[in-house]
Amino acid sequence: MIKPHGSDVLTPLFVEDTYRRAKLMAEADTLPSLLLNSAAAANAVMLGAGYFTPLRGYMNIADAVSVAETMKTRNGLFWPVPCLNRTHAIKSIKSAKRIALRDPNVAGQSVLAIQDVEAIEEISEKQLNRITEKIFGTLDQAHPGVATFMTLGKYVISGPIQVLNFSYFEKDFPATFRTAVQIPNEIQAKGWETVVAFQTRNPMHRAHEELCKMAKDAVNADGILIHMLLGKLKKGDIPADVRDAAIRKMVELYFPENTVMITGYGFDMLYAGPREAVLHAVFRQNAGCTHLIVGRDHAGVGNYYGPFEAQEIFDTIPEDALLIQIFKADNTAYSKKLNKVVMMRDAPDHTPDDFVNLSGTRVREMLAQGKALPEEFARPEVAEILMRYYQSEDAAITG
């Protein structure tokens, strides 16, 4: 394993001690409270879980601008995306020095964390536009990440936090949600030294499966960490519980035993392409992984980013910025010529007709119509799980 980012040890902000946590929960009842938006709540979960090591809380505007412009905080810490607590209304906390942060994603809006308020600042339209453009590469409101980020509020509340729980993630995904403290412990228990991580917000098809196996072989890894996003997605994306079931079935049937860890983390998808790819690398370094697979259009959406921009950004950051290594993957597809999944760059003699490569839209259409996907594209057991979802009432609601 490797060291965490910017620190010799992980710095999770979750309060482990039961007695101390109970005292803080009691204190929270006496404090002014702020109902977080989902993005700020996800940041709190990631701070609590240690994925945001070595951050101690939410950034102020100066640090957010610095991160957006230079990928460094003002004190020089390499960091790709601002960690912010933004809100529309500050009346209830205006003069407070310590506040209770309430969770928008659970019934009853229980307290998620306590924050020491260092500053409450109003972000200007110019600053917000500049940060947004730097992080997402566009101000187009049709971009789902931009549409969310631009509407999170004009007030920025900065300061350190103490996290009291992990929102809905532990309850809803007990077999899958893991902190950046738990994952390295499990890696160590397995005796793994070299670990390649695969980030996903989607179900895994044959190409993803084989890409993980190719990367493991290429870097001579002891194991693979399949690390799925469990938080909020854009309309039309497949819910986490469906993805989880599909991935577990694939690993059970098609990977050698004890070579894969299936885990998830509590963050909302940004769809920020290259910048989010770098943030994903920070997460996996903090989770003890030595390598991260970055493929075609990693963390992208629509046509906002070039197919390999998320790989190219790693060539522009300082060499000592991160310890984790990037496995740069080409687009993968099933070769009818070779009867196996290949990276397209490794098959220069192929034409497009030599590959089985369905678009996401076509896959969704086929599944919704009850049509079987080609076995070259998706394992039948995985396709069956997805088909059940697409033909359900849930898909009609979320799609």
pLDDT digits over 326-385, tens only?
999 988 888 888 898 888 888 889 998 988 876 666 777 888 888 888 888 889 999 999
Q: At residue 28, does pLDDT exceed 80?
A: yes
73 in Cβ contact with 59 (< 8 Å): yes
The answer to whether 202 is a known catalytic residue is yes
pLDDT of residue 13: 98
343 in Cβ contact with 308 (< 8 Å): no
Q: Which residue has the higher pLDDT, 148 or 348?
A: 148
The length of the chain in residues reads 399
The catalytically annotated residue of 202, 248, 331, 364 is: 202
What gap in Å lies between CA 274 and CA 278, rounded to an integer?
7
> pLDDT-based confidence at 396, cuts 50/70/90?
low
Please state, rounded to an integer, the average pLDDT across all residues of the chain: 94
Q: Kindly state the average pLDDT of the residues 99-119.
A: 97
Q: At residue 40, does pLDDT exceed 90?
A: yes
What gap in Å lies between CA 35 and CA 135, rounded to an integer?
25
Q: At residue 241, does pLDDT exceed 80?
A: yes
Q: At residue 399, does pLDDT exceed 70?
A: no
Helices and strands (H and E) in the chain: how many: 14, 15
Query: The pTM is what?
Result: 0.94
Of 333, 323, 293, whose CA–CA distance to 1 is shortest? 323
pLDDT of residue 394: 64
pLDDT tens track for 287-314 = 999 999 999 889 999 999 999 999 999 9
pLDDT of residue 372: 86
Q: Collapsing DSSP states into helix, strand and coil, what is residue 142?
A: coil
The catalytically annotated residue of 102, 178, 201, 275 is: 201
Query: In this predicted structure, which of 35-39, 46-50, 235-239 has the lowest mean pLDDT?
Result: 235-239
pLDDT of residue 374: 87
Identify the residue whose tokens are 């079935």: 249
Query: Which residue segments constitute the domains of the chain, with CATH numbers given?
Result: 18-167 (3.10.400.10), 175-265+273-398 (3.40.50.620)
pLDDT tens track for 120-144 = 999 999 999 999 999 999 999 999 9
Structure tokens at 293: 């697979």
Q: Kindly state the average pLDDT of the residues 261-269.
A: 97
Q: At residue 398, does pLDDT exceed 70?
A: no
Written as one string, the DSSP assignment of 310-359 is HHHGGGTS-TTS-SSEEEE---EEEETTTTEEEEGGG-TT--GGGEE---
What gap in Å lies between CA 236 and CA 19, rounded to an integer?
43
Structure tokens at 93: 């906390």
